[in-house]
Amino acid sequence: MFRFLVLAIGLFGLGTLPGLAQGWSYVGGDGKTVTLDAVPVRILASQDAAAGLIPLGIRPVGIYADSAVADAKALQGLDLTGIEIIGQAWGEVDIEKAAALQPDLIVAEFWPMETTWSGGNDVVAALSPLAPITGPEQGASILTLIEDYETLAASLGADLTAPAIAAEKSRFGASLANFKSALAARPGLTALAVWAGTDALYVASTQGASELMDFAGWGLNLIDPEVADDRGYWETLSWENADKYQPDLILVDNRSAATMETAKAQPTWTLMKAAAAGQVTDWPAFWLRNYAAYATALDGLAAAITAADPDLVP
């Protein structure tokens, strides 16, 4: 038996010998390497990580969401059958449910501007005793983030050549080409990304949102706020000053349908010429994590760009 084992190792190598566990390692968005004795199977995932992994064939055993799952934009349209929901509020997780799932790994996203993982420090403190936490960085591009999920999924055993995966990637490529064509046909168009609250209008900084950085890189002329908050995400405008910026197209954060309704309910909303002209569309803010969702978002944006008057604001 010993001679057979030596011969088998010589022929196949340790990594391919049937029945021998393969080690696994991954460099996370925080720059740290997680190493395990075997490829992890029982994975807990943040809602965004789940949205990145499930379309690639990696199904977690548990998900913790930032809100009620029914309201989580990142998870819409995904089959969550058989997956335990261990949290439905930002910063909260059911540690008993999480422990009962006996996870090998927790996959989240590292947010460099916050210097923490998805869910925040309280969730990290609760989950880290159960299994290592790792995942990609939420950085300068959603497209890069999706590609990082592909790398992670492949390391976990995903077959990225599967027809369904290839089809979604191809559809995204077509949608991106259409988006760029729409922009090319509207060279003078300017856009402004906002979130509307009852207290104020919040103008988004391009550098604070990965998808906005993608859009800008692909040619969308986004107006940046003069002053962002101390974290670099928003400039806060009182509703009396909602017309400080005058874009040709307004992108409204669509994580909640209520945001658009809140904006429309403000008497000063239409002081922006784009709002008065109906040149308003959805901004898929912070939640895109897979090719299918991104393709749909780009299709909507391309249609809004094509319909907009690029000379609305002199």
**What are the sequence ranges of the domains in the chain?**
22-160, 169-307
List % helix, strand, coil for the chain (3-state, nearest 5): 40, 20, 40
d(CA 232, CA 226): 11
Q: How many CA atoms lie within 13 A of 167 on its CB side?
A: 4
Beta bridge partners of 204: 234
Whole-number Å distance between alpha carbons of 180 and 14: 48
Cα separation, 89 vs 113, whole angstroms: 21
Tell me the pLDDT band of 113, cut-offs 50, 70 and 90: confident
Mention every residue, 6+ apart, whose C-beta is less than 8 A from residue 276. 270
Closest CA to 125 of 97, 88, 95: 95
Residue among 286, 287, 282 at smallest CA distance from 303: 282
On the question of a common fold for 22-160 and 169-307, the answer reads yes
Return all residues near 124 (Cβ < 8 A) that are at least 6 apart: 108, 116, 117, 133
pLDDT of residue 15: 38
pLDDT band at 230; cut points 50, 70, 90: low
Span 142-163, pLDDT tens digits: 999 999 999 999 999 999 999 9
Q: Which two tokens stand for residue 112?
A: 């460099």
> Is residue 8 predicted with pLDDT exceeding 80?
no
Tell me how crowded residue 1 is: count the other CB atoms within 10 A of its CB.
Answer: 5
Considering the four listed CATH numbers 2.170.120.20, 1.10.645.10, 3.40.50.720, 3.40.50.1980, the one that applies to the domain covering 169-307 is 3.40.50.1980
In eight-state DSSP terms, residue 104 is S
Tens of pLDDT, residue by residue over 251-288, are 999 999 999 999 999 999 999 999 999 999 999 999 99
Q: Which two tokens stand for residue 99?
A: 């422990």
Phi, psi of 251 (to 5 degrees): -105, 120
- 100: pLDDT strictly greater than 90: yes
Q: Is residue 232 pLDDT above 80, yes or no?
A: no
Average pLDDT over residues 27-54: 97
**Model pLDDT, residue 21:** 55
Please provide the CATH number assigned to the domain covering 22-160.
3.40.50.1980
Nearest-10 Cα torsion for 223, 287, 154, 81: -160
Higher-pLDDT residue of 50, 233: 50
What pLDDT, on the 0 to 100 scale, is given for residue 80? 97
Residue 313 has what pLDDT?
83
pLDDT of residue 62: 98
pLDDT at 226: 87
Q: In the predicted model, is pLDDT for residue 72 greater than 90?
A: yes
**Out of 11-25, 145-159, 190-204, 298-312, least confident range:** 11-25
